[in-house]
Amino acid sequence: MPAELNIQSKLENHLKYSPLPREVRLWGETMAYSIILFIVVSGYYFVTSGSFTEKVLNRAVGDVALLMIGLSLILSSVCYFWDFADKYIIYRKHLGLVGVGYLLFHIIFSVTFSSYAPFPGYFLEDKRIASFIGAVLATIIFFIMTAISNRFAIHEIGAARWRKLMRLGHLAFVFTLFHFGVKGLPYWLPWMTGKSDAIFPSFGLIVFLFGSVVILLRIALWFSTMKKTDIKV
């Protein structure tokens, strides 16, 4: 797709005319940002709920996972429409992989250590199975993307095919939003309809709205590149 080629061109141009941060520095900065984000999310939950249980902890980890992966995916769209963000494109891979790390912790905690949601019975109940399927599909795709996020995979698969596979990340993100939405809607509706005593919304709703922006910007990017292709033809 022209959009990916345009982003790749911007990345190569940035690396050519600016100092290339060491890989260790990129990983370190991304991890530091993720920890700060986790503290902010956890603090929000603590302030709004007055407690911080293992359930809230796991929820915060899941929120951070979606935010980090969402930031990774949104960079392509943001860099396409606004040049100010070009310098941040070098963090795209690191944001995504750190996000998958949080996702893995969220999965392990949910499946192995969660006392409030015994696996698999809790997730296979009628009201939760759709959300669970969405989470499973998203996880499979994200793990495939993680496995091919390296130079060796690009060389073996081929750059064109690799880019096509990486676009599946947005499909996985849609599955993730579905998982979040189905689970969170019963808790969000009372606040949205004014039937809740809570002043502030659940952070899960904020994350869901951010995720929706990620998808909407990707759709806008697709339409924009299609129009340019039509004009050239």
DSSP 5-16: HHHHHHHHHHHH
> Structural domain tally of the chain?
1
So what's the pLDDT on residue 54? 87
So what's the pLDDT on residue 10? 55
* pLDDT over 80 at 116, yes or no: no
* pLDDT over 50 at 233, yes or no: no
So what's the pLDDT on residue 223? 87
Nearest one of 116, 97, 98 to 59, comparing CA atoms: 116
* pLDDT over 80 at 134, yes or no: yes
Output the six-digit token pair for 224.
Answer: 């924009």
- Measured CA to CA, the distance from residue 100 to residue 88 in angstroms comes to 19
Contact 94, 30 (CB under 8 A): yes
So what's the pLDDT on residue 14? 52
Section 25-29 average pLDDT:
91
CA angle centred on 188, ends 186 and 189, rounded to 5°: 70
So what's the pLDDT on residue 194? 86
Q: What is the pLDDT of residues 77-105, one digit of tens each?
A: 999 888 888 888 889 999 999 999 999 99
pLDDT band at 115 (very low <50, low <70, confident <90, very high): low
Q: What is the pLDDT of residues 149-206, one digit of tens each?
A: 888 888 888 888 888 888 899 999 999 999 999 988 988 999 998 888 888 999 999 9
Q: Which pTM was predicted?
A: 0.84
> pLDDT averaged over the chain?
85
Q: What percent of the chain has pLDDT over 70?
A: 84
- Measured CA to CA, the distance from residue 111 to residue 109 in angstroms comes to 6
- Measured CA to CA, the distance from residue 184 to residue 231 in angstroms comes to 43
Check residues 83 and 114 and name the one with the higher pLDDT.
Answer: 83
145-164 b/e (C-beta count within 10 Å ≥ 16 → b): bbeebeeeeeeeeeeeeeee
What residue numbers bound the domain in which 188 lies? 2-232
Check residues 223 and 12 and name the one with the higher pLDDT.
Answer: 223
So what's the pLDDT on residue 117? 67
Contact 31, 98 (CB under 8 A): yes
Check residues 226 and 201 and name the one with the higher pLDDT.
Answer: 201
pLDDT band at 231 (very low <50, low <70, confident <90, very high): low
